[in-house]
Chains A and B, each alone.
Chain A
Amino acid sequence: MKRTVCALALFTCALALVMAGGDAEQEQSEGPITIDYSFWGNPVAIGVERDIIDAYHAMQDDVRVAPIVSGYSDYHTMLLTQMAGGSSPDVMRIDSYFFQDFLALNALRTIDDLVDRDNVDTSVYYPQGITENTSDGELYGLPWATSVLYMFINLDVFEDAGIPVPDFDWTVDDFVEIARQLTDGDRYGFAIGLGGVSSILPFVWAEGGDLFDESRERFTLNEPEAVRALDRLAEMYAEGLIPEDSITAQTDTLTRWFVNGQIGMRMGAVSEILSTQAVEGARFEVINMPTGPAGNRTTVYKSNIVGIGSASQNVEAAWDFLKFLRGPEGQGEELYMIAKRMSPAIDDQRYWDLYADPTLYPRNVEGNSKIIAAEYGRLLPLTGGWLEVDNLVAPELQGIVSGAISAEDAMNRIADDAQAALDRAR
């Protein structure tokens, strides 16, 4: 009996010790203010953020920044749950896919007043980034990782087939013909991941269709232009220009096929440049998506938001850090560029000089990205309910491309639900 009581007592003491290791709620009566900054990343990305936070700490003594980090896939869930529990970070990064949903929850405060007061020059950013940080004419954050969803070109495969890297004005017809010429035995012209609507929108845009109408209030992926584009992809699949497993392939599978020369072309984000570069001997280029009869702007251009939480009790401190992190005068962009993990959100040659390394593939990333931004880039029609619509469309894409269902039937089948999701979000 005594032994049991002793064991329980030890247990309680040990637990108390563990508890003593925890931080109590922050007390900010004296000394520097501590603000929370939340972001996603892997250890390398977190290292870059730490460097920025350290540089900020070295610059001043009044504000300390406490990072809140998780992996991307769980990040927004974590943030939303913490907010629902009344615990909102002062400064937070939000993927633009979630921007409208966070605004609907009143999670961010507008920074217009702070920008005006401190004369922060927002014209230095790529305008697409500012657009994605703006809602109803109000600016809610500063852009982070404004970048392109490129077409990756495997130079070895192209050279082997005797095909030059396409020009910027290549069309969907050219693309299909190139895919046909590249396809040879176990080698395929193109592979596409069908995990989301972003992957098919370039082809839809090329045909003149879109996910929503201009007001972003009506679902339009069931209209003839969009259906035609989806049917075109299904035809490519039926012709054997796209690998059979492509419709269920994850990003890493596409990278494996690409670096092994099993596919000649794939779509990929700027972060996938990193994973492809890391494979020794991978020779590749990044270009815009094929254009079409509806115009040249068929390449997805996307940004993200770094804003201040509406519940922040330390707005001035949060703004000071945000300016350092993302502002034109801050050191944040420079440190991001030195790490080469993303292309610049600020249109400034010195950042490109830091980011782009002409000795590494893709060697024309700077020039091509600038041209795409100016002439071929197009923002996603992000709006409230986007995620819900995306979740409806994505499973249908596999059926369409594999030929199990016609694009028209599939899109008509989900049109009412998609429209309802849009209506709910308004």
Chain B
Amino acid sequence: MKRIETRDTGRLAVGIAYLALGLVAVSVLGPLLWAVGTSLKTYGEVFSRGLAFFPEVPQWDNYVEIFRIAPFDRYVMNSVIVSLFACAFTLLTSAMSAYAFARLRFPGRDALFVLYLATMMVPQQVILIPNFLLIRELGLLDTLAGLVLTRVFVPLGTFLLRQFFMGIPIELEEAAIIDGMSYTRRFVSVILPLAKPALVSLFIVSLLAAWNDFLYPLVFIRTDTKRTITLGLSILQGDLDIRWNLVMAATIVAVSPLVVAYLALQRLFIEGIALTGSKG
């Protein structure tokens, strides 16, 4: 009798857990679903049936219209270029510096690491103008390269990878040393392959940050054809007569590459987060 009660209580708990998870899923997916629905509405429907999830007749033309009223294909391409280069450089600089902080022994290493980490506490807005001056002096204002350059050195990346590298058994490197491998060879052939999940995590985090960056492109980019997708979305809302159906269509286009990247790398991303977390 007691076992039956326990089983019923267990089922109830599972049911409540599913209900709670369902509510969370609805609260997360609901706005996204509404955005998709709104992207397919007419302008009039946005106001007359604003709270409805789906349009009476889907307006697929909205997705064509956004490319007609602004060069959104160019904006997407610019975001792809900036994000991929920024991510690649972030991985490169973070991995190299993390390896140095994790494995190399040199005077003041820990103090330097703390100092480097301390720069994470400085808000981006504070260093916006110094960065602006620097990029201008380099002649990179209004270039995608200028945007990439501002995202090359990421202390968070160094921190994440250092924690991961410190968790890799030192014996593996010692074996490589016996085999006569240099620092560079050990880094490339031993450490990096083992750090794939952590690198993927950092890649996705960096990709999100670079893709969604708005402040720096806003101030650094002037030419229409060099705008990133976030600036493009902002321009769509640039005056009081905002066509929300087109804004939503553009937003769906803007987030699609990120969703694809996440889905493609989901397994490694979760693995990396778990590993960097547990080893930290």
Which positions in A face B, CB cutoff 8 Å?
1, 4, 8, 11, 14-15, 18-19, 21-25, 36, 40-46, 66-74, 77-78, 81-82, 84-87, 251-252, 255-256, 259-260, 269, 271-272, 274-275, 278-281
Given that A1-B184, A1-B188 are contacting pairs, would A279 and B239 also be in contact in the complex, using a CB cutoff of 8 Å? Answer: no
Interface string of B88-119 (1 = CB under 8 A from A): 10001000000000000000000000000000
Please measure, in the bound complex, the distance between the C-alpha atom of A1 and the C-alpha atom of B184, giving whole angstroms: 9
CB of B238 within 8 A of CB of A71, answer: yes
Task: List, sorted by A's number, 18 A–B pairs whose CB atoms are closer than 8 Å.
Answer: A1-B185, A18-B81, A22-B140, A22-B144, A23-B142, A42-B237, A42-B243, A43-B70, A44-B239, A70-B234, A72-B238, A81-B219, A271-B239, A271-B240, A278-B44, A278-B243, A279-B43, A281-B44
- A260-B47 in contact (CB<8A): yes
Cα A260 to Cα B52 in complex, Å, equals: 14
| Known contacts A11-B88, A252-B244, A275-B242; is-contact A44 B69 (Cβ 8 Å) | yes
Interface residue B48 (Cβ < 8 Å from any Cβ of A): yes
Cross-chain contact B145 with A81 (CB below 8 angstroms): no
Instruction: Among B81, B92, B241, find the residue whose CB has the most chain A CB atoms closer than 10 A.
Output: B241
* Cβ-defined contact, B238 with A86, below 8 A: no
Q: Classify the secondary structure of B's interface with A.
A: helix
B95 to chain A, nearest CB (A): 11
Q: Is the CB of A41 within 8 A of B142?
A: no
Contact of A43 among B69, B218, B223, B226 (CB under 8 A): B69
Selected contact of B237 from candidates A66, A67, A71, A272, CB within 8 Å: A71
Nearest first, the 9 A-B pairs at minimum CB distance are: A22-B143, A71-B238, A271-B240, A19-B145, A85-B132, A42-B238, A274-B241, A71-B234, A43-B69
B45 (CB) vs chain A CBs: closest residue: A279
Neighbouring A residues of B46 by C-beta, 8 Å: 256
Please indicate the chain B residues that have their CB under 8 angstroms from the CB of A85 in the complex.
129, 132-133, 136, 219
**Known contacts A1-B185, A42-B236, A69-B235; A23 and B242 CB within 8 A of each other:** no
Task: Choose among A44, A81, A281 the residue that contacts B241 (Cβ–Cβ < 8 A).
Answer: A44
Evaluate contact between A69 and B224: CB separation under 8 angstroms: yes
CA distance A233 to B82 in the complex (A): 50
A280 to B244, CA, bound (A): 16
Within 8 A of A (CB), among B18-58: 43-44, 46-48, 50
**Further 16 A-B residue pairs, CB within 8 A, beyond A72-B238, A82-B219, A259-B47:** A1-B189, A11-B88, A18-B85, A19-B143, A22-B145, A42-B236, A42-B237, A43-B238, A66-B223, A67-B224, A70-B238, A71-B238, A74-B214, A84-B129, A252-B242, A269-B240
Given A42-B241, A86-B133, A87-B136: A279 and B69 interface contact (C-beta under 8 Å): no
- Known pairs A87-B136, A278-B241, A279-B43; A42 contacts B235 (CB<8 A): yes
Contact B139 A42 (CB under 8 A): no
B residues 115-160 touching A (CB-CB < 8 Å) = 128-129, 132-133, 136, 139-146, 148
Cα-based distance from A179 to B17 in the complex (angstroms): 49
Bound-complex Cα distance A259 to B48 (A):
7
**Which residues of the other chain, B, contact A36 by a CB distance below 8 angstroms?**
222
